[in-house]
């Protein structure tokens, strides 16, 4: 399994590096296998096509830098994820302009949705007692964060991730925990 992951990461990194030199749309499987010094069958063993590779990159980056993040503070998780987009901005800024935009946005939404629920669970014992409000709040914050991430990437992911995360923090954090606790303590009408 470790060798398989290593090969997938090698292929993914080659794709990202190629995007620094040429447009994403012109990157071919042939370019990728040449950059990796692997044979065609190795690529197709791991991925069905270039789109499959891109989806794996999205999922892997989001999972390893956001979902699996041990940080309890959401602002630190946000900074980790923004750092990925910043470090690989050539790839991501092109990806969100490609036919893979919707796939990426859905995966990003799903990740922020999971993180929102984790956060609610950590700060409010009453969150799960109100499933409709719980789901609504998770969707609300997930749409907001996903939209901001997409805007950051669409703008070229040029700004310092720490400063961007601080904007999130300054807007939401001073009252966020209290707002969520209040939201779940108010009875549904």
**Distance, first Cα to last Cα, the chain:** 51
pLDDT category, 151, cuts 50, 70, 90? Answer: very high
Q: What is the mean pLDDT of the chain?
A: 88
Does position 187 have pLDDT exceeding 70, yes or no? no
Does position 69 have pLDDT exceeding 60, yes or no? no
Both tokens assigned to 133: 């409000």
- Using a pLDDT cut of 90, give the percent of the chain over it: 60
pLDDT category, 148, cuts 50, 70, 90? Answer: very high
The pLDDT assigned to 19 comes to 95
Q: Residues 82-125: pLDDT tens digits?
A: 999 999 999 999 999 999 999 999 999 998 898 888 888 877 77
Nearest CA among 171, 186, 184 for reference residue 74: 171
The pLDDT assigned to 73 comes to 61
Specify the higher pLDDT residue, 178 or 4. 4
């Amino acid at each position: 399994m470790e060798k398989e992951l290593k090969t997938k990461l090698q292929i993914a990194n080659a794709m990202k590096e190629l995007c620094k030199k040429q447009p994403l749309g012109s990157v071919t499987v042939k370019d990728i296998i040449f950059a990796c010094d692997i044979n065609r069958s190795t690529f197709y063993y791991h991925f069905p096509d270039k789109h499959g590779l891109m989806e794996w990159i999205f999922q892997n980056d989001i999972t390893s830098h956001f979902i699996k993040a041990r940080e309890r503070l959401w602002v630190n998780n946000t900074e980790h994820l923004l750092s990925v987009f910043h470090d690989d901005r050539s790839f991501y800024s092109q990806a969100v302009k490609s036919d893979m935009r919707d796939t990426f946005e859905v995966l990003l939404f799903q990740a922020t949705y999971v993180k929102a629920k984790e956060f609610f669970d950590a700060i409010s014992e009453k969150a799960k007692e109100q499933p409709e409000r719980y789901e609504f709040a998770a969707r609300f914050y997930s749409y907001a964060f996903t939209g901001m991430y997409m805007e950051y990437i669409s703008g070229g992911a040029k700004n310092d991730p720490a400063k961007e995360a601080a904007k999130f923090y300054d807007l939401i954090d001073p009252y966020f925990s209290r707002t969520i606790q209040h939201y779940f303590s108010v009875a549904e009408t």
